[in-house]
Chains A and B, each alone.
Chain A
Amino acid sequence: MLEEIIVVNRLVLLGLTVAISVALLIAIRQAKKGKKFFIRRIAGLEAIDEAVGRATEMGRPVHFSPGIASLSEETAAQTLAGLAVLGYVARLTAKYDTELIVTNRMPEVLPITEEVVRQNYLSQGKSENYNPDNIVFLSDEQFAYAAGCMGIMSREKVAANIMMGAFWAESLIFAEGGFAAGSIQVAGTANTHQLPFFIAACDYCLIGEELFAAGAYLSQDPMQVAGIKVQDLGKIVAVLLIIIGTVTTTCNWPVICEFLARFAS
């Protein structure tokens, strides 16, 4: 009877989804009430200050890319985290009167990047320095966007190239373009298959979840901070399950593993 109503072999996943959602709602509520959750500072973030500082000293622009993912994919969270970092970068460039160029691949991300940059220039009292022409949509074709970015980085001689979001095969093209332009490069993505390129070619790199934590750390948005807390809770659960599972498997008592294999497939 139960199997007719729900997919039994996904019961654990259902339970986990509900548990995570409830934990997230509680954490958001606590954060909104003013509870301060601690998030440790991430080394790569300090590099952003250094990169913008360098661009200011050299009198050359900063280039920012929020990645190439849309807002309706699984990777949308990376774009949103990248936009939080963009807000921080925009605050710095507004503060130091440094030119900021933002290139976009996805049309629906463009109005958000415009708004993020405009709001942060406004918050620094530098709305007159906000230049909407510097927030550009290049192309929704992956490699046309990559070629456009390379061209802009090279022609504008950007001193800092910051890439935060979801990247795919164009990651190394960007990093190479930034290197050719002589810029300091800070990158961050949760696409693990592209991380090796960023680590090899950029000066600083935010690895995987560091990107999300960076977004939460910089924005201090209760929703994002609460999300990081719940993810940390998930990691504790994962470590505990792994320890329990491996010990019980070693002792030839695979009941827990078999239960999860049956109801969490």
Chain B
Amino acid sequence: METLGIWIGALGTLAILSFLFRENPFFRTAEHLFIGLAAGIGIFYGYQTIVTNAWNPLFNPADGEVRKWFLIVPLVLGVLLYTRFLNKGKWISRIPLGFLVGVGSALAIRGVIGASFMSQILATMQLPLWHTMAKFKIDSILFILGVIGTLIYFYFSREQKGPLKVGASIGKWVMMIAFGAAFGNTVMARMSLLVGRIYFLLGEWLHIL
């Protein structure tokens, strides 16, 4: 069984990699298999999640556990999503969708104000203007100017003219340097993934390594 799994994995890898040449029947087969399998697994896990997290605690609680009546709310909201298939009751599906969007927004606000806004500001505020930063080996004033320039780049209420244009240009350069570094870093990580695949093909599959 393990050998069969290795063969399927190896052939699937080669079929997907064949896209590098061009779109072909092998890639198409692997693509459709991948999507089909993902759909099948998704249905299974979806069913399991509903049974484990909602149905059982609500209708078949384990011995000694209290029946969790409030779970009827997400269960009903979930069922309401299917009303989009009704011609006249289509609008009902907007209620659970609205709930989902509301939860998403609330989560975003919670995370953004603390981690993405205040912590970043505070970290920059604590830098003295003339001081070599140990981590980056650059003068902190360059770093501060870079942060302010990047903020100016994303200021949308005025046209970028005069001082705003200068600030935005600084911001743009700083971002491009940061993106370049991130690009190189991620390419290295992807190379290690490729090496892992090649090891799998040459080692586990062909036993050359």
Q: Which of B145-168 contact A (CB under 8 A)?
A: 147-148, 151-152, 154-160
> Which of A143, A192, A232, A235 has the most B CB atoms < 10 Å from its CB?
A235
Given A38-B157, A72-B104, A207-B175, check contact A241 B125 (CB 8 Å): yes
Residues of B within 8 A of A246 (CB): 124-125, 127-129, 140, 144
Residues of B within 8 A of A108 (CB): 81, 97, 100
Q: Assess the B27–A151 pair: CB atoms within 8 A.
A: yes
Q: Which of A123-168 contact B (CB under 8 A)?
A: 138-141, 143-145, 147-148, 150-151, 154-155
Residues of B within 8 A of A72 (CB): 100-101, 103-104, 107
A46 in the interface, Cβ–Cβ < 8 Å?
no
Number of interface residues of B (CB under 8 A): 64
B195 in the interface, Cβ–Cβ < 8 Å?
no
Residues of B within 8 A of A239 (CB): 148, 151-152
Of all chain B residues, the one with the shortest Cβ separation from A237 is B121
Q: Assess the B107–A73 pair: CB atoms within 8 A.
A: yes
Given A77-B105, A140-B42, check contact A195 B179 (CB 8 Å): yes
B167 → chain A closest CB, angstroms:
9
Given A16-B118, A80-B101, A147-B34, check contact A154 B108 (CB 8 Å): no
Q: Assess the A249–B126 pair: CB atoms within 8 A.
A: yes
Q: Assess the B125–A37 pair: CB atoms within 8 A.
A: no
Q: Which of A97-138 contact B (CB under 8 A)?
A: 108, 111-112, 138
**Residue from A42, A111, A260 in contact with B122 in the complex, judged by beta carbons closer than 8 Å:** A260
B59 in the interface, Cβ–Cβ < 8 Å?
no
B4 → chain A closest CB, angstroms:
21
Given A139-B42, A143-B34, A147-B34, check contact A70 B104 (CB 8 Å): yes
Which size class do A's interface residues fall under? Answer: 35 or more
SS of A interface (majority)? helix
Residues of B within 8 A of A150 (CB): 19, 23, 31
Q: Assess the A141–B125 pair: CB atoms within 8 A.
A: no
**A243-B148 Cα distance, complex, nearest whole Å:** 9
Starting from the known contacts A77-B105, A139-B34, 5 additional A-B residue pairs (CB-CB under 8 Å) come to: A12-B118, A75-B108, A111-B93, A150-B23, A238-B117
Closest 10 CB pairs of A and B: A245-B125, A76-B104, A141-B38, A196-B183, A144-B38, A154-B23, A196-B179, A139-B38, A250-B128, A71-B100
- Residues of chain B whose beta carbon lies under 8 Å from any beta carbon of chain A: 16, 19, 22-23, 27-28, 30-31, 34-35, 37-39, 41-42, 81, 84, 93, 97, 100-101, 103-105, 107-109, 111-114, 117-118, 120-122, 124-130, 140, 144, 147-148, 151-152, 154-160, 175-176, 179-180, 182-183, 186, 190
- Residues of chain A whose beta carbon lies under 8 Å from any beta carbon of chain B: 10, 12-13, 16-17, 20, 37-40, 42, 70-77, 80, 108, 111-112, 138-141, 143-145, 147-148, 150-151, 154-155, 172, 177, 180, 192-193, 195-197, 199-200, 207-210, 213, 228-229, 232, 234-235, 238-239, 241-247, 249-250, 254, 256-257, 260-261, 264
